[in-house]
Amino acid sequence: MTMRFDCLYVEKDGTGNISRSIKSLSLDDLAADEVLVRVEYSSLNYKDALAAGGHPGVVRSLPHVPGIDAAGMIAASTSPNLLPGQSVVITGYDLGAGHWGGWSEYVRVPASWIVPLPAGLSLKESMILGTAGFTAAQCVQAIITNGIDPGKGEVVVTGATGGVGSLAVKLLAQLGYHVVAVTGKERLRSTLQSWGAKEVIGREEVLNTTAKPLLSSRWAAAVDTVGGNTLTTILRHLKDYGVVAACGLVGGTDLPLTVHPFLLRGVILAGIASAALPYDRRLRIWEQLAGPWRINDLESLATAVRLNELEEKIQQILKGEIVGRTIVKV
């Protein structure tokens, strides 16, 4: 008899209702890939909450096990370079989307998805970062690569209390940037300031529904997790040669805009797509996060839950109510 283990299982019944439960599976239920990982920690990202609801834009088929992040120890491997006992991190690719994910005591994945746990990070810290930290770091990298140093002006971060937002605020502040945090949670002003934000403004300040092609020159750069009119507003408010790293869509997917920010101000719109980031660039981002960009006091951003406590957190993240990072102790 093969070993059994628990996971959070999403399925659809005959009437089309989607349900979630903790289910016991056998290792034979997992995909036939090269590396079996005993998961220690996973995390909750906005995309995971969509997957947990069976969202067809994320999940290809049901039943499904969500969890786009996983960290743990290799339990078995047919790859000569990946040995049992090695600590590893897996984020993105198809994990928790087309492939059963990290909300499970075990995952089996292709060897090409495995990143050795970078020296300097614990498994727990790697999941406090998870896809959120990996994405925040790519946003910061895009801002730096495109010529914005701290002397160029203010950097705005939207969705600032969320997973990507909170880590972007902390990282940018540590690197010396003047961070303007945009939030719908005014009550968390002092928390955002403790993370390093120099200013905290409301979401409504970054929502301009006029058709004006340009707005006053205001910010040097932005990390935008919201999309829609928020992103349109930021693009029109950027200073000459400003940069926005666009990674999210919690506020919408439309982008009504004219070309004027690009043609008259040289604004750069940098798209961030974490899931498919090529392996060599992926390793470099993790090395940065474990080394020079190591974020102070990561634990203070994290709430840890068990698989059977995820339900309430899923509801919260869908309503934009999560603060910081939720990790799953599997």
Ligand X SMILES: NC(=O)c1ccc[n+]([C@@H]2O[C@H](COP(=O)([O-])OP(=O)(O)OC[C@H]3O[C@@H](n4cnc5c(N)ncnc54)[C@H](OP(=O)(O)O)[C@@H]3O)[C@@H](O)[C@H]2O)c1
Residues that bind ligand X (CB under 6 A): 45-47, 131-132, 135, 159-165, 183-185, 203, 225-226, 247-251, 272-275, 317, 320, 322
Taking the complex as a whole, the smallest distance from the CB of residue 160 to ligand X amounts, in Å, to 5
Taking the complex as a whole, the smallest distance from the CB of residue 167 to ligand X amounts, in Å, to 8
SS3 280: helix
Question: Which helix (H) or strand (E) segment is 87 a member of?
Answer: strand 87-91
Taking the complex as a whole, the smallest distance from the CB of residue 212 to ligand X amounts, in Å, to 21
Q: 35 or 50: whose CB is closer to ligand X?
A: 50
Written as six digits, the tokens of 115 are: 């990143």
Taking the complex as a whole, the smallest distance from the CB of residue 67 to ligand X amounts, in Å, to 13
Written as six digits, the tokens of 92 are: 């993105």
Q: 132 or 238: whose CB is closer to ligand X?
A: 132
What does DSSP assign to residue 15? T
CA 322/CA 324 separation, integer angstroms: 7
* Residue least distant from ligand X (Cβ): 162
Encoded amino acid at 276, one letter:
A
| 290 burial via Cβ count (<10 Å: 0-12, 13-18, 19+) | middle
Taking the complex as a whole, the smallest distance from the CB of residue 8 to ligand X amounts, in Å, to 17
Question: Rounded to whole angstroms, what are the CA distances from 270 to 141, 144, 219, 222?
Answer: 10, 11, 15, 10
Query: Tokens 């090269």 sit at which residue?
Result: 34
Q: 179 or 317: whose CB is closer to ligand X?
A: 317
Do 13 and 20 contact (CB within 8 A), yes or no?
no
Taking the complex as a whole, the smallest distance from the CB of residue 166 to ligand X amounts, in Å, to 8
Q: 57 or 80: whose CB is closer to ligand X?
A: 57
Contacts of residue 171, Cβ cutoff 8 Å, sequence gap at least 6: 136, 137, 140, 293, 295
Taking the complex as a whole, the smallest distance from the CB of residue 209 to ligand X amounts, in Å, to 14
Q: 4 or 60: whose CB is closer to ligand X?
A: 60
CA 23/CA 267 separation, integer angstroms: 49
Peptide bond into 63 cis (omega under 30): yes
Taking the complex as a whole, the smallest distance from the CB of residue 198 to ligand X amounts, in Å, to 16
Q: 117 or 168: whose CB is closer to ligand X?
A: 168
Q: 46 or 177: whose CB is closer to ligand X?
A: 46
CA 269/CA 173 separation, integer angstroms: 22
Residue 284: name the closest of 160, 158, 138, 176 by CA.
Answer: 138
Do 269 and 241 contact (CB within 8 A), yes or no?
no
Q: 37 or 50: whose CB is closer to ligand X?
A: 50
